[in-house]
Amino acid sequence: MREGGRASEAAAVPQSDLILGGRRFPPGRLLVMAIVNRTPDSFYRPGLTWDESAAMERVHEVVTEGADIVDIGGVPAAPGADVTVAEEIDRTASFIGRVRAAYPQVAISVDTWRHEVARQACAAGADLINDSWGGWDDELPATAAAAGAGLVCAHAGGQRPRTRPHRVRYDDVMADVLRHTQLLAGRAAEAGVPRASIVIDAAHDFGKNTWHSLEITRRLGEMTASGWPVLVSVSNKDFVGETLDVPLAGRLAGTLATTTICAWLGARIFRAHHVLQTRQALDMVSAIRGDAPPARAVRALA
């Protein structure tokens, strides 16, 4: 909203370089984080990359399509059969090691809320811990710091991991998001996580209904004004489905529209299933903003 934007722009903290695994990403560079789930029952195309060789195939594919970060998770966000710490480590750590070996230049994140898993994942080569559940495990910052990894600090409205929001209400959802993500980011910095590797995430749909997710999208500029790099994870989510009244398979257009708005408002990392399409939407935003030239412009110039 213009009004909210104006107030925060006045006090906006400029963005600085983001560093992941030794690679430096300047503020204008928009990053695609490709989702590779090592789960038999993930939300989007269940079981697609459950098998380890299928998952590796998927990594080859997303890197070719332009992924900057590969996000590897072993537990679905939805409630379901319990996945133990050992099982989660089993699903993620050695696979991360394989991806690391195959793609030394690609950043790797591990999608987990548990510090035990994060520790093993980082030892295997992960550069970033993607904690979508908003700091449920207090030991995560110290684990990231010890491993020299980055940390995603998200807002899940206080929801316990793998639970659904039920009649959630906020006096001001964006104020709550700002308060919580900045609290976590501050704690991470205090624990010794490099400031240039701390990322914040409003976590669309986590502890939020569709109206709340639309509101945080509309007001995303208030997050980017904090100076912390902002990650958005909107791909195929239910708020897109409810907004457009479309099933899971019909959410690409809504996902890309949301992605574009978030990029325009200053988000820098985009967690996505459709890597190629997301890459193109972001490249378009970069060109419109003037951060990058068109790939080839000869029309009317000959």
Which residues are catalytically annotated?
237, 271
Cβ proximity to another protein: between 83 and 193 the closer is: 83
Q: How far is the CB of 176 from another protein (least distance, A)?
A: 11
Collect all residues with Cβ–Cβ distance below 8 Å to 73 and sequence separation of at least 6: 35, 36, 37, 38, 39, 42, 92, 110, 111, 112, 130
Cβ proximity to another protein: between 168 and 191 the closer is: 168
Give the separation between CA 187 and CA 153, rounded to whole angstroms. Answer: 10
With beta carbons less than 8 A apart as the criterion, state whether 115 and 76 touch.
Answer: no
User: 3-state DSSP call for residue 129?
Assistant: strand
Q: How far is the CB of 40 from another protein (least distance, A)?
A: 15
Give the separation between CA 41 and CA 44, rounded to whole angstroms. Answer: 9
Q: How far is the CB of 47 from another protein (least distance, A)?
A: 17
Element spanning 49, H or E? none
Q: How far is the CB of 68 from another protein (least distance, A)?
A: 31
Cβ proximity to another protein: between 212 and 271 the closer is: 212
- Of 105, 113, 96, 114, nearest to 154 by C-alpha is 113
Cβ proximity to another protein: between 44 and 170 the closer is: 170
Can you give the binding site for another protein, defined by CB under 8 A? 1, 79-80, 163-173, 209-212, 214-215, 218, 242-243, 245
Give the separation between CA 5 and CA 201, rounded to whole angstroms. Answer: 18
- Of 63, 35, 132, 52, nearest to 92 by C-alpha is 52
Cβ proximity to another protein: between 13 and 253 the closer is: 253
Element spanning 88, H or E? helix 85-102
Task: For 32-64, give the DSSP string.
Answer: EEEEEE--TT-SSSTTTT-SHHHHHHHHHHHHH
Tokens of 93: 């750590």
Q: How far is the CB of 167 from another protein (least distance, A)?
A: 6
Residue 266 to residues 53, 78, 107, 231, 259, Cα–Cα distance (Å): 36, 29, 21, 10, 11
